[in-house]
Amino acid sequence: MSLIQELQNRSDKKCELCGATSSLEVYEVKPVSTGGVDGSIFACSACVSQIEEDTNIEVNHWHCLNDSMWSPYTPVKVVVWRMLHRLKPEGWSRDLLDMMYMEEEELRFAQASGDHLEDTDKVIHRDVNGVVLKSGDSVILIKDLKVKGSSMVAKQGTVVRRIALDHENDKFIEGRVGPTQIVIVTDYVKKMAEKE
C-alpha cells in the first residue's frame, strides 16, 4: 500500500488537522529522517500553506486544533503542538497546550522545529547574502558540494525546495537533492526570490 493510501485510510480521506475533504496532500513533518506514515500527515492546502508560512496564519482557521489535538497519531500531535505554540498570544491556544499530553519522544520531535522558543532564543539562519531563511523556503546552491558519505556531488545552480532548519546550529539546513536528503551549510546557498 502506498503512503498516500495509508494516510487516506488513517484520516478517512479528511485533513487530519481541520477535517477538510478537498485539496488534500501528503505533508512530511519536518525534520523528517524516514518520512513514511510515522513522519507524515494528510492535510489540506490551507493548513499546509499556513504551517509553512507563519506570516500567513488565519487564527480562526486553527480553532480546529481543539479536536485534532486528541489524535492518536504522533505526526498529527506534533503539528498541532507546534501550531498551538505559534498561536500562543491567543488565550485559547495556551489553554489547549495545558491540556495536551505527549510522550517524551513525541515532545522531542515537536520541539525540533523551535516553534516553542521565544523569538530572542531562536537560531536565525541566513544565506550567503545575509537574507534570513525560513523553514519551507527554496534555495539555490552557489557552488558544487560533495555529499559526505557518498559519491554524489550537488551541482552549483541546483534548487533545493522546502528546506528544514537545524534549530541548534544556524549554519545547517536540510533539503532534498534528487532523492537524497542532505545537510547543507548556509554559506553555500542563496535564497530564491518568490518569482524565481
Find the mean pLDDT for residues 4-8. 93
Give the pLDDT confidence score for residue 196 in this predicted structure.
46
- Phi, psi (5° rounding) for residue 110? -65, -40
Instruction: Look at the pTM and tell me if it is higher than 0.85.
Output: no
Give the pLDDT confidence score for residue 32 in this predicted structure.
58
- Write the DSSP string, the chain: --HHHHHHHHHTSS-TTT---SSEEEEEPSS-SS-SGGGEEEEEHHHHHHHH-GGG--GGGGGGHHHHTT-S-HHHHHHHHHHHHHTTTSHHHHHHHHH----HHHHHHHHTT-TTS-GGGSPPEE-TTSPEE-TT--EEESS-EEPTTSS-EEPTT-EE-S-EE-SS-TTEEEEEETTEEEEEEGGGEEEPPTT-
CATH fold of 123-191: SH3 type barrels. (2.30.30)
Q: What angle do CA 54, 10, 162 make, to 5 degrees?
A: 30
Find the mean pLDDT for residues 14-21. 96
Percent of the chain whose predicted confidence (pLDDT) is above 90: 51
CA distances from 104 to 107, 108, 109, 110 (A): 5, 6, 9, 10
More confident residue, 81 or 169: 81
How deeply is 196 buried, as exposed, middle or buried, from its count of CB atoms within 10 A (0-12, 13-18, 19+)? exposed
What residue ranges do the domains of the chain occupy?
A: 3-111, 123-191
pLDDT at 183 over 60: yes
Give the pLDDT confidence score for residue 156 in this predicted structure.
92
In tens, the pLDDT along 84-140 reads 998 988 889 999 999 999 999 998 888 877 665 555 556 788 898 888 888 788 999
Which range is least confidently modeled, 39-48, 76-85, 134-143, 163-172?
163-172
Provide the grid cell at 147: 555529499
In tens, the pLDDT along 139-162 reads 999 999 888 878 888 899 999 988
